[in-house]
Amino acid sequence: MPFDAIYNPSFENGGYSGWRVYTYFIEAGGALMVTDPTMVTDGVYALKFQANGRRLVDSCSQDLVLPPGNYTLKCDVIPSYGTIATLGVNFNDNTGSVTATSPAGVKTTLKVNFTVTNGTIPLTIYAAGSQNRYVRSNFVVDNFRLFRPVIFCRTKQSKRKKDRGLSNSNIRPPFHL
């Protein structure tokens, strides 16, 4: 079940408000919004990071406070040739983080499963691109989704006939004229 806790998850306000963006702004590089349908996976906008002559080490992140429970975080990424994209959750409590990484240059949906044990400490969700070799590298991120599993409770059913409406008192003889 989708859990609505991420602000501006698909960048549909036309910018990256709600997100901390880490990038080097050199010439035309850095973070920018794109509307190219080959890059956007949900809505009209996506966030693109460009190296333009430098090492790509860019990311976007957002802090969330979530109630205890199990969650799944997903996002769509399009890394350029040789670029690796990472989706992660940092728990900010010295217990580390969980991450999922794309193959270099492969458009994919990244997914991480995680458990919140302390619902009072903000955790940080992030997507990052990394590329050391190619100075024209970039990566696009879009459509962050947070899910919380739906738990179905099955009630114990009695095996007695009476509980299933099959007692002898419910069976009537056929009507005869």
- The CATH number that applies at residue 102 is 2.60.120.260
Domain that holds residue 60: 20-170
* Residue 101 domain-assigned (yes or no): yes
Q: Which residues lie across from 38 on neighbouring strands?
A: none
* Residue 133 domain-assigned (yes or no): yes
Q: Which residues lie across from 152 on neighbouring strands?
A: none
3-state helix/strand/coil string of 30-57? EEEEECCCCCCCCCCCEEEEECCCCCEC
Local structure of residue 175 (DSSP, 8 states): P
- What is the total count of domains within the chain? 1
Q: Is the pTM higher than 0.85?
A: no
pLDDT digit string, tens, across residues 74-131:
999 999 998 999 999 999 988 889 999 999 999 999 999 999 998 899 999 999 999 8
Mean predicted confidence (pLDDT) in 59-78: 97
* Residue 177 domain-assigned (yes or no): no
